[in-house]
Amino acid sequence: MNESTNQLLKPVTLKTNECGNLEIGGCDLAELVEKYGTPLYVIDEATLRNVCDDYKKAFSKYKNVNMMFASKSLCTMATSVILSQEGFGFDVVSAGEIYTVYKSGVDMKKVLFNGNNKSFDELSLALELGVGRISVDNFFELDLLNEIAKSHSKTVDILLRITPGIECHTHEYIQTGHLDSKFGFDLTQIDEAVELILNSYTNLKLHGLHAHIGSQIFETKVYHDEIEILVKEIARLDEKFGLKLDEINIGGGLGVKYTESDCPPSTFEIADVIVNSLTESIKKYGIEPPALFIEPGRSIISTCGVTLYTIGSSKQVPKGKKYVAVDGGMADNPRPSMYQAKYSAEIANCKKDESLQTVTIAGRFCESGDILIKDIELPNPQEGDILCVYNTGAYNYSMASNYNRVQKSQMVIVNNSKSDIIVNRETLDDLISHDVVPDRLK
């Protein structure tokens, strides 16, 4: 089975250069820090294009596949342009994500709007900008969307998001496919929804079913089970309503390698399971082969990204841990605090003949839980050293905050020894730009 980029811990272009510094995309990381400062998000364009190529090759055996990048993992205009160039569409979950991909110049027909509580304004924007599919999550949204579509004199192409009743062995906060979930129609509610679409909601056209079974998935059988449920439902709806649905969206969720102990399946392995399961289920239930939509996010962008920090203070607890603090933390990467997520890191600047120390990497924010990495071995970390944390492309910048009124970090993309800013570092004036002091307080 082919190894794929999602199984790598580090970007494909990472190496140690003649100066003894780490470099990515031909760019010395110490020089990037000197030029742009820290914390700094770095995206490796070669890794991003490699993983896109992996997905296209892996799923090439199925004739009608639509790759939809899950924008929630990282949504910037520059990365949207690259993904669009690679032939990907976009799964979006907010007006902000819709607007970002729209301003990036992508084909809006290849955009799907997903989410469990879409607002009137968001749905209206989706219609105005020509979003190709809307995945409807609940009865409230069916009614609201039909009214908006009617007011725009449009027929909206939709999928029904269902809860397939599958549990993945992952963190409970990122399980989205089990029965007790805020997402989607329960299997027992599908018929009522279909009847409303066929008989009452005449401005909605149903094309298929959508399900998502979780995130950071290392199992493969769950995809087989999900596909069989979706295909069986399509066959049942055809028999009961004469409804010829021709699309299934199986979501995303493929895991990545955050630490050496992680062993996610490859893109190729997952593709084999998905395509073989779909082929078997089509034959078993006697339906026409549907268009297949998949929504990878983390497995596309995570390995592409690293975050660079500058090491500052340190503290040795008597008979306890040694804490080494960096100039970022839970505001630029909340995942360790939220999910107890684990990361790997190295010192990026040259460290010759230094003995390894076991330290805990602490963030700079005023929370005792602001710990990025527990008990990592590093070569004698000192003030001014540069720490490179791997696999931070997904859910770091996209979940970042201004906690403690700290500016959000800059992001650059590197390729062929060149670096370009794709997200500017926030300024102090940016931080107060939306604050208002009422006249009566002056």
Residue where the block lists tokens 């306890």: 320
Helices 95-103 and 77-85: crossing angle in degrees, nearest 10, is 60
CB 88, CB 82: distance < 8 Å: no
Closest among 181, 164, 162, 163 to 172, alpha carbons compared? 181
Question: 3-state class of 114 per DSSP?
Answer: coil
CB 346, CB 388: distance < 8 Å: yes
CB 17, CB 48: distance < 8 Å: no
Token representation of residue 60: 């090439």
Q: Which positions are annotated as active-site residues?
A: 366
The length of the chain, given as a count of residues: 442
422-430 contact pairs (CB < 8 A, 24+): 422/43, 422/76, 422/77, 422/78, 422/79, 423/41, 423/76, 423/397, 425/36, 425/37, 426/402
